[in-house]
Structure 1
């Protein structure tokens, strides 16, 4: 649901409120949509049915399909926020949530199927613990709900080089859900596919990093939350199903570019001074290895995507340095939750570790 990001415009949107819902609920379920009419037809009825009194808002990122007409015709109880242009994922949410005054937001992908009672455990967790600023449910694959889904699974972790992984997912290896990750617990990051967050914390941090455009933006946001003294949690007592891959398939060179560029920026922006130099050097080396691997297998477009990612990162180094300088008073050393002190690359590729439980983490 993303395309090229536009520039911010204070008059960029129009909100159509539903009078019976306006201002009545403290939770707003906000779906950012771009040409996702098919997903809205398929999954929005369930979101409405299981909203538990929360507001349901679709922020439309200047769709060119029939999304807006569909919403007006078939979903009159849904609040519609029309963005004047397509801002992309990160800035689209930033623009939309500026106009939503609920105490809690749920960032909900349009390709997520929710279940009965999914919202209550997440909301209760934040209400009962003011230190928690964000939480995700268990995320299962819509195509096979017995399996964890790539984007979030059983809660997000980072290794010491800031490579992301999940309980239930190491790189592309997905585990079956056998109840092993049903507990609530603090994590390093929560998935943007379904993320409940406090409005006050969102506003204090300025929302998502717009320069990321898409991919790893929720990891950056959650790392900034922890650096600011908040906690990020996963709650396995709530579950949703995610289609995933609807915007960019995992083999798409555009996704390769964003993942490699944003991975470098993620580490550079947020790592504490004593944790930056060594990990950054190792990331550069491993990126080179990944590029050579693509080259050896004839995946020229992915090889070029990595080169472009590095050119972009270095070209924006002044901006990233400015962001790091602004965050410096809050950069924390190694006391964050959900951090694996080893190397996920080494554990997975050299030692054959394929399950979260094999990493020695609790």
Structure 2
């Protein structure tokens, strides 16, 4: 399986493509050769989160051109990336970092357009490409993928969604999102971020451990005066759920806990009380729905998430004070001022174009 692909000098020599790995040997074996083949001069780094499979040995043996960083413990998504990028910052002068999931297939020319956008637009601190589903089935490969799709949005209560994906409903890519535009958040599955902005924000918030941490980062970037964009001229394919199944009580717990933390940390003081009350109520409705569907463990996960948030509210308050919210809901691009939950479940609006256009902030 030896690879003779080497990183030649190219337009992305100031970029580090960083792949965080935990027991993902199969994904590295499958997708790392393609990343190297289409790196356009970028340095490719694999950060191993104390895997118990032979991921690190695979990289060392078959991909010697890859820089390998080995953590002594599983630090999770946030701290794993934070430590890796701090090490790169201390030992090299990269202008840009790419956070890339191990289960992502890149395509020829995927990276230069993203870098060019940040070169041309100094206020843009982060950008994501179009994310489509990885599959051997041609029709499925035309569908958008859950993690980012055609760019990340938030509704007025901080619920995240994407162009091309509302809850579990996916659109087929017909070129409808081939544009470039500001968005509320960009996916951590494939995220190019300006190194100076990353370090100014202290990277990802480690309290999240995993899930919604990139939304929090992007929200903080907007509050700090930066911009976050989507670039439809670049495409990658994401397996999705490659390291954690979509239906998983632990994932349910993290999503609900981190969802509350997200709005608490980043909503301005005038809006926060109303947002929190409504989020709690809707979360309880979601827990009841899970219970009636026989998903008892997931229902308990929602309640545990609320209990953790309440017990650790001081921790979230300290993080809120570190990066104070600045933008009101009507000042943030990529925000739907309606309720996505109401539009989707009560009104049956299953695709992004069906949402009421006048309720979107102008971008």
Alignment counterpart, residue 328 of structure 2, candidates 330, 333, 351: 333
1:287 maps to 283
Q: Deviations over 1:263-303 (max 9, x none)?
A: 00000000011221111100000011011111112211011
Distance, in Å, in 2 between the alignment partners of 1:326 and 1:54 is 33
SS of 1:93 mapped into structure 2: helix
SS of 2:141 mapped into structure 1: coil
**1:136 and 2:128 correspond:** yes
Native 8 Å contact 1:273 1:331 kept in 2 = no
1:248 Cα shift?
Answer: 1.7
SS of 1:71 mapped into structure 2: helix
1:5 maps to none
2:49 maps to 61
Matches for 1:301-316 after TM superposition, within 5 Å? 301-316=297-312
Native 8 Å contact 2:7 2:42 kept in 1 = no
Matches for 1:111-126 after TM superposition, within 5 Å? 111-126=103-118
Question: Measured at CA, do residues 349 and 20 of structure 1 come closer, stay the same or move farther in structure 2, by a change above 3 Å?
Answer: closer
1:327 Cα shift?
Answer: 2.3
Distance, in Å, in 2 between the alignment partners of 1:47 and 1:87 is 24
**1:181 and 2:177 correspond:** yes
Question: Measured at CA, do residues 39 and 19 of structure 1 come closer, stay the same or move farther in structure 2, by a change above 3 Å?
Answer: closer
2:3 maps to none
1:19 Cα shift?
Answer: 11
1:225 Cα shift?
Answer: 0.3
Native 8 Å contact 2:17 2:45 kept in 1 = yes
**1:34 and 2:26 correspond:** no
Native 8 Å contact 1:160 1:340 kept in 2 = yes
Distance, in Å, in 2 between the alignment partners of 1:289 and 1:85 is 37
Question: Measured at CA, do residues 49 and 309 of structure 1 come closer, stay the same or move farther in structure 2, by a change above 3 Å?
Answer: same
1:67 Cα shift?
Answer: 0.7
Alignment counterpart, residue 244 of structure 1, candidates 240, 256, 278: 240
SS of 1:357 mapped into structure 2: helix
Unaligned runs of 5+ in 2: 1-5
SS of 2:228 mapped into structure 1: strand
Alignment counterpart, residue 163 of structure 2, candidates 164, 167, 175: 167
Distance, in Å, in 2 between the alignment partners of 1:285 and 1:360 is 24
Native 8 Å contact 1:248 1:254 kept in 2 = no
Alignment counterpart, residue 226 of structure 1, candidates 209, 216, 222: 222
2:36 maps to 48
Distance, in Å, in 2 between the alignment partners of 1:224 and 1:216 is 12
Question: Measured at CA, do residues 132 and 19 of structure 1 come closer, stay the same or move farther in structure 2, by a change above 3 Å?
Answer: closer
TM-score (norm 1): 0.92
1:331 Cα shift?
Answer: 2.3
SS of 1:138 mapped into structure 2: strand
- Note the aligned Cα RMSD (angstroms): 1.5
**1:202 and 2:194 correspond:** no
TM-score (norm 2): 0.92
SS of 1:314 mapped into structure 2: helix
Q: How many pairs does the alignment contain?
A: 342
2:66 maps to 78
